[in-house]
Amino acid sequence: MPTPNGDLPTHQVENQPPPLGDRDFYLSDPILRATAPRTLQPYGTAMGAQDTQAHARDANRNRPELMTFDAGGRRLDEVRFHPAYHHMMTLSQSAGYAACAWDGGSHLEHAAMVYMASQVEPGHCCPLTMTYAAVPALRANPEIAAAWVPKLTARAYDPSVRPVAQKRAATLGMAMTEKQGGSDVRANTTQATPDGEHWRLTGHKWFCSAPMSDGFLTLAQTDGGLTCFLVPRWLEDQRNRIHLMRLKDKLGNISNASAEIEYHDAFAMQLGDTGRGVQTIIEMVHHTRLDTAMAPAGLMRGALTHALHWVRHRRAFQKTLIDQPLMQAVLADMILDWHTATWLGLHVATAFDDPDARPFARIAVALAKFLNNKLCPRVTYEAMEAIGGMGYVEDTALPMFYREAPLNSIWDGSGNVICLDILRTLARDPQARDALHAALSTPRGTDARFDQALSAWHTRWRGNPAEIEARAFAEHTALLLAGSVLIQHAPHAVADAFITSRLHAPNGHIAGSTTGLDTQTILKSFTD
């Protein structure tokens, strides 16, 4: 039998870190304290609480379940979730995750909430991100917006299955992808036929994110071309004819459901002009990209928090792990990547709040999405390795972070799609190109090494890059933009280390292979 102090009959339990305990994701984060309003602290406290961590674990250990029929054989087309998932949804919706950018708050506040939520339970972020991002797309039809936007921006969570007019709050999903097209949505074959003032849709959607949402933005073919529609799940007196065919058995994002669905003559309302479906829904995509740029920064901080807690309490070879120089070098390199992703993502979020900065936001969010998501998997893996064997065990949070790390790069445009979109934007939008050049040049004269890197960038990319060079251009440009942001906002040691190791004389690609960093100051910058 265990003794009162936890020792076992065979051995004493020692050299094992204590539980993390309650944390405040806002107060413990120097970047948030420097950039985001203090009003976010209650959400940071709630996200870091042990009770929330327990709900996050339960939500990820109990997968959503598809309920196609009831006991009598009548179609339900519903997804049942563990109560822990509903707890997370209630917590975030009540705090304004989907609403704050539209009800007097800011996109910066929203981005900070994405960042904090991703540190503990990223699965529930998916439906809330789409709900947030749908608001500007719905404004393409004022009548639809008047009925739906107040429900989407209500600071409440209402999972009941009934028409949106009868609900306190609503969520909205997206169903665009089809088997034959993937990211090439112009290849969609779902058909829309007129039905009075509205439409009926028939077709199969290969990916439907958050199928328990109250409605979906979707694309379908009309005689006038690909058009955007809002498809409600419930009509006034019956279920809409949306059939949930199966749930995807995903690598990660486990608490959230993703499904294949079919429209069987489903009722739909048109959004935007006929034949301009992509242009209409791109407003939603533009805003979801902000979240897919911020979420990896949150995942990185979550993984690093667990790794740092471990190495501060674990001894090996007569030393605490954090006191070993090589471990310090590895962690400092990882923290530098976290700084890069977080400062860049939040800087882009501030551009979303400035109507005059829209051209910059358009190009910068794609660059941030690309870079941050390429940094995220290597940081989460190295955090797992820092913990060692226990990092590979589900008793810790690291397997969840590791499974989650690739997702945001794939969602709403994988790496190649984003890079090609960056090239198209710069070729077609002079305002975006000029805004990017201005942002890159802002710190000119501050650091000679940065100026040298900027000159090299101008020399190499004097003309429009060829398609085969799209990734090289995106990486080079995103790193330079991150350097510009860090020089202006980050601690000097962080900006100096970034310029030294990422721009001036790039070191190896493996964490810990960077030399000449002020490791002690960088380590302190994670919490100071």
Domain at 279-524: CATH code? 1.20.140.10
pLDDT at 186: 81
SS3 173: strand
Average pLDDT over residues 309-326: 92
**What are 151-189's pLDDT values in tens digits?**
999 999 999 999 999 999 999 999 988 988 777 888 889
d(CA 229, CA 213): 15
pLDDT at 506: 67
- Phi, psi of 467, rounded to the nearest 5 degrees: -55, -40
Instruction: Write the burial class of residue 466 (CB in 10 Å: 0-12 exposed, 13-18 middle, 19+ buried).
Output: exposed
Instruction: Give one DSSP letter per residue of 142-172, joined into a string.
Output: HHHHHHHHHHHTSSS-----S-GGG-S----
d(CA 294, CA 200): 37
Instruction: Show the beta-strand stretches assigned E in 376-457.
Output: none
Tokens standing for residue 74: 């009548």
d(CA 182, CA 162): 31
**What are 466-504's pLDDT values in tens digits?**
999 999 999 999 999 999 999 999 999 999 999 999 998
Average pLDDT taken over every residue of the chain: 94
pLDDT at 237: 84
Residue 1 has pLDDT above 60, yes or no: no
Query: Would you kindly state where each structural domain of the chain is located, as residue ranges?
Result: 30-275, 279-524
Instruction: Determine contact, residues 91/78, Cβ cutoff 8 Å.
Output: no
d(CA 506, CA 297): 22
Cα dihedral across residues 197, 200, 205, 210: positive or negative = positive
pLDDT at 443: 97
d(CA 49, CA 39): 17
Domain at 30-275: CATH code? 2.40.110.20
How open is the CA angle 365-504-436, to the nearest 5 degrees? 25
The residue type of 163 is P
pLDDT at 3: 59
Tokens standing for residue 217: 């933005």
